[in-house]
């Protein structure tokens, strides 16, 4: 079997065929809960983009430019992800998954707490946005190791035929972090006046996030090293030299596939889940409380959608689940933005439907996990995912702002649809590769 067709199969190294046990369930629960708390720290920034744009830039800055600048700082966190991901993945493949899994959440808690304590532009001038940028970069370094490390960690703890659901469970946990951030933003905007939010309300979610992060560090002390890594260590099968070099030499098809599906993932999460509440307010005049209510419902639907598509992937295969989900993402993204353009009469319901459709991202990590052998899995997945997320996710917020000025308010839906077509093409290629591998 060549590498292209191997991408449609599940790697069974280091695990026997068995159902999920109590220990597996405990690992999934602790990993997902810790991931939710850490991902909250990373994404809560975007829910307060509007007050941050007022507080961290000169008061005479045009509103659209200030918002574009704060989205640029948000994007900097994505651009920093590859460095953190590559370094942590190297040591994760060499010294163990658990150590890096714990370090990443600690590195996230510190800058999140720091953002909540930052002085604003009126107090220290241009030093304020520079400090905000610095702390955002540190957050990016941390999450660069966290997300791929978490997927590898849970995938190597469960039976091979449960990898889809295991990775989707972790992804669902990460999206719960988005839900927590959305609920916090909704509560603050509904219980505080705009003046109170600008005065001190914006600090509360970051201060709470620092506490959440340190709690996640404590949670992870109960997790054990993955059986796959322990087996490789005992058999002295760990990668020699630089694991990433081996990825480049032997597994470039896996890198390409992982980057393409990550592009779809970034568009779905960044545009439909993270940016839409802000775009709903600024471009479609949805009141803040309703915008964040819709986002909370969509984030909850996303968590359920991840579990559904993970379950579907284990039963129908990753390619078929990706194909169905990408088509659903295209249709639901357009439905949401056409409704926003028409007055947002069905905003909450259609946002929930779009959120469930975004759940196709639950298939993506399983595809990437099985694209690389265990000895270089962390490095291969981390490089592919983080570089693609840095490129596509980091550039998406300012790009969407520019596209909307050029092509109108439906530009976000067009962009999501374009990446969904890429997902459909990847699924079709995987299906054709599988058929080609089956003897006539």
pLDDT tens for residues 266-276? 999 989 998 89
Query: Mean per-residue pLDDT for 402-411?
Result: 89
Res 335: pLDDT: 97
pLDDT at 236: 67
Highest mean pLDDT among 80-84, 114-118, 241-245: 114-118
Residue reference for tokens 């219980």: 191
Has residue 427 got a pLDDT over 90? Answer: yes
The answer on pLDDT for 12 being more than 50 is no
Q: How many CA atoms lie within 13 A of 193 on its CB side?
A: 3
pLDDT (0 to 100) of residue 60: 77
Per-residue pLDDT band for 436 (boundaries 50, 70, 90) equals low
DSSP 158: S
187-201, 298-312, 329-343: range with lowest mean pLDDT: 187-201
Question: What does the mean pLDDT of the chain come to?
Answer: 84
pLDDT at 171 over 60: yes
CATH number for the domain harbouring residue 410: 1.20.1250.20
4-13, 146-155, 211-220, 307-316: which range is least confident on average? 4-13
> Average of pLDDT values for 84-105?
77
Q: For position 431, what pLDDT does the model report?
A: 92
375-391 average pLDDT score: 88
Residue 437 pLDDT grade (very low, low, confident, very high; cuts 50, 70, 90): low
pLDDT at position 417 is: 97
pLDDT at 289: 80
Q: How confident is the model at residue 95 (pLDDT cuts 50, 70, 90)?
A: confident
Ranges 232-246, 390-404, 410-424, most confident: 410-424
* pTM reported for the whole predicted model: 0.79
pLDDT at residue 312 is higher than 60: yes
Burial level of 204, CB count in 10 A (0-12/13-18/19+)?
A: middle
Query: Residue 331 sits in which domain range?
Result: 3-13+20-437
More confident of the two residues 232 and 18: 232
Mean pLDDT of 314-337: 96
pLDDT at 439: 43
- Answer whether residue 438 shows pLDDT above 60: no
Give, in order, the Cα–Cα distances in Å from 401 to each of 27, 48, 137, 275, 397: 40, 16, 21, 10, 6
Count structural domains, the chain: 1
């Amino acid at each position: 079997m060549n590498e292209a067709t191997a991408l449609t199969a599940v790697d069974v190294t280091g695990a026997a065929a068995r159902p999920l046990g109590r220990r597996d369930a405990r690992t999934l629960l602790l990993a997902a809960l810790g991931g939710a708390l850490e991902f909250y720290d990373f994404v809560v920034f975007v829910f307060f983009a509007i007050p941050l744009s007022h507080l961290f830039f000169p008061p005479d800055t045009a509103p659209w430019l200030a918002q574009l600048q704060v989205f640029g700082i948000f994007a900097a966190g994505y651009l920093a992800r590859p460095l953190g991901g590559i370094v942590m993945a190297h040591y994760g493949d060499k010294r163990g998954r658990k150590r890096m899994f714990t370090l990443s959440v600690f590195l996230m808690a510190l800058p999140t707490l720091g953002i909540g304590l930052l002085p604003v532009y009126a107090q220290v001038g241009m030093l304020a946005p520079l400090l905000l940028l610095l702390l955002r970069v540190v957050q990016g370094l941390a999450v660069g190791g966290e997300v791929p490390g978490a997927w590898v960690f849970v995938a190597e703890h469960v039976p091979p035929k449960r990898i889809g659901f295991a990775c989707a469970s972790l992804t669902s946990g990460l999206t719960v972090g988005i839900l927590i951030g959305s609920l916090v933003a909704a509560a603050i905007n509904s219980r505080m006046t705009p003046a109170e939010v600008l005065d001190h309300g914006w600090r509360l979610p970051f201060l709470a996030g620092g506490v959440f992060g340190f709690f996640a560090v404590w949670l992870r002390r109960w997790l054990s090293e993955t059986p796959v890594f322990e087996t490789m260590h005992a058999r002295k099968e760990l990668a020699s030299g630089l694991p990433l070099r081996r990825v480049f030499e032997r597994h470039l098809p896996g890198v390409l596939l992982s980057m393409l599906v990550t592009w779809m993932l970034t568009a779905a999460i960044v545009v439909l889940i993270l940016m839409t509440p802000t775009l709903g307010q600024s471009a479609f005049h949805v009141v803040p409380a309703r915008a964040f209510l819709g986002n909370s419902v969509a984030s909850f639907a996303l968590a359920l959608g991840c579990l559904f598509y993970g379950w579907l992937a284990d039963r129908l295969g990753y390619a078929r689940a990706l194909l169905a989900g990408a088509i659903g993402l295209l249709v639901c993204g357009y439905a949401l933005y056409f409704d926003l353009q028409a007055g947002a009469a069905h905003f909450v319901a259609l946002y929930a439907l779009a959120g469930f459709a975004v759940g196709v991202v639950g298939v993506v990590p399983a595809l990437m996990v099985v694209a690389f052998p265990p000895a270089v899995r962390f490095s291969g997945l981390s490089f592919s995912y983080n570089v693609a997320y840095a490129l596509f996710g980091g550039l998406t917020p300012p790009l969407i702002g520019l596209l909307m000025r050029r092509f109108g308010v439906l530009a976000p839906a067009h962009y999501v649809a374009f990446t969904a077509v890429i997902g459909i093409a990847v699924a079709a290629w995987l299906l054709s590769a599988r058929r080609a591998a089956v003897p006539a």
